[in-house]
Amino acid sequence: MKKTRSSLFLGGLALSTAAFLSLSAAILPRQEPADANTAKSEIMRPEDSKALKAIAASKAIYVGASKCKSCHNKDSMGKVYDKWTKMKHYSALENLKSEDAIRLGKENGIDKPWEADACLKCHITAYTEPAERRHKRFKMDKGVQCESCHGPGSLHVKARLKAAKEGIKGDKELIQIPEGEIVLPDEGLCRNCHNEESPSYKEFDFGERLEKIRHLHPLRKEPRVHPPKKDDDAQSSE
């Protein structure tokens, strides 16, 4: 039986359509259903970080952790400075001289990680900032200091010293710090360094890391920074 031109055309069209759909399935990303129960939690990117934007816009300068120590290492303030000295952030610069860091450096064409800009930009607070934005007593050899997470602190220091003269002391009562005086970190700020650019990068869970560096004021019952809710948390609260 001979096929008509019409049937040949329709048959060719069907084959072309099937081929197109098959090719599309291979090259296009799979679209997940827009369902609240199956949606995945989004990761905040550095470019979306309100904390990083606030630091960039701040008129304060970096003063260094030793300046923070004078107030924040009192028992009544939670001895935050001492807690920091026991964290990996504190030894971030020194860790660049470890065997693992040297090995990873060589694998990436870096002979001395402790001298390389690509490493120091995250292992030293304010490393990429201009000199005029660092106080003359700011020390560059203290690793990841308070101001990497909370922004330059000169205005905070000035405001708290003025308040202390007026009889308002943070170790006596819980003071609500005005917005803009210091920065509260967010996931995007952390991911500015904790990302795939680092040869030692491991999967970064903002909530887990936040708990490891948590340092609440003794009078504060609830932290001011919370990780985003995960899917299972959101479902359990419904």
* Cα dihedral sign, 209-140-78-175: negative
> For residues 117 and 96, is the Cβ–Cβ distance under 8 A?
no
Q: How many CB atoms lie within 10 A of CB 218?
A: 12
> What pLDDT shows up at residue 176?
86
pLDDT score, position 42: 79
Q: What is the pLDDT of residues 78-87, one digit of tens each?
A: 999 999 999 9
Residues 85-96 have a mean pLDDT of 97
Residue 49 makes CB contacts below 8 A (sequence gap 6+) with 186, 187, 188, 189, 191, 192
Burial class (CB in 10 A: 0-12, 13-18, 19+), 117: exposed
Confidence at 34, pLDDT banded by 50, 70, 90: very low
Report the CATH number of the 62-220 domain. 1.10.1130.10
Residue pair 47/188 in contact by the 8 Å Cβ criterion? yes
30 pLDDT above the threshold of 50: no
Domain ranges of the chain: 62-220
**What pTM was estimated for this model as a whole?**
0.78
